Structure 1
Amino acid sequence: MVSVGAAAPDGTPALFSNRGPWVKQWLPGSDVVSLMPETLEEADPGNGYARWSGTSLAAARYAGERAQARIS
């Protein structure tokens, strides 16, 4: 198991992310541009994308990087 923390755009730990010696890697998790589902009525700029923040984004990035490393 690996603990992944969300990093802000400047690389520092995001304010909402857990932090401590158990966090082994910091990856982008704040203000990440991703797809915007059409079903959401939020501030959609109309181009199908939005900015999201959360530790789940950092965890997904970590999993994707590890998967890519395994097949390379």
Structure 2
Amino acid sequence: MNFILFLIIGAIAGWLAGKIMKGRGFGLLGNMVVGIVGAFVGGLLFRAIGLASYGFIGSLVTATVGAAVLLFLIGLIKKA
């Protein structure tokens, strides 16, 4: 059950990050990948600045912030 919740949070976070970063989205599987990688990036960023998140909403915020940062960095690399 936790794995399914993890995938749902990843999909929602990837979709939200795509909307925040003015993207078109990447489809269900692409949004999941962006959201899951974003969860790791967000976790690293939040720990580095001393923040913690708990529960579904906290996990969603962390993953969304991380995914938005990831998309921003990918955009910088693609322009270079």
From the two aligned structures, give the one with the greater helix fraction.
Answer: 2
Provide TM-score, normalisation by structure 1: 0.39
Provide TM-score, normalisation by structure 2: 0.37
From the two aligned structures, give the one with the greater strand fraction.
Answer: 1
Look at both structures and tell me which one has the larger radius of gyration over its CA atoms.
Answer: 1
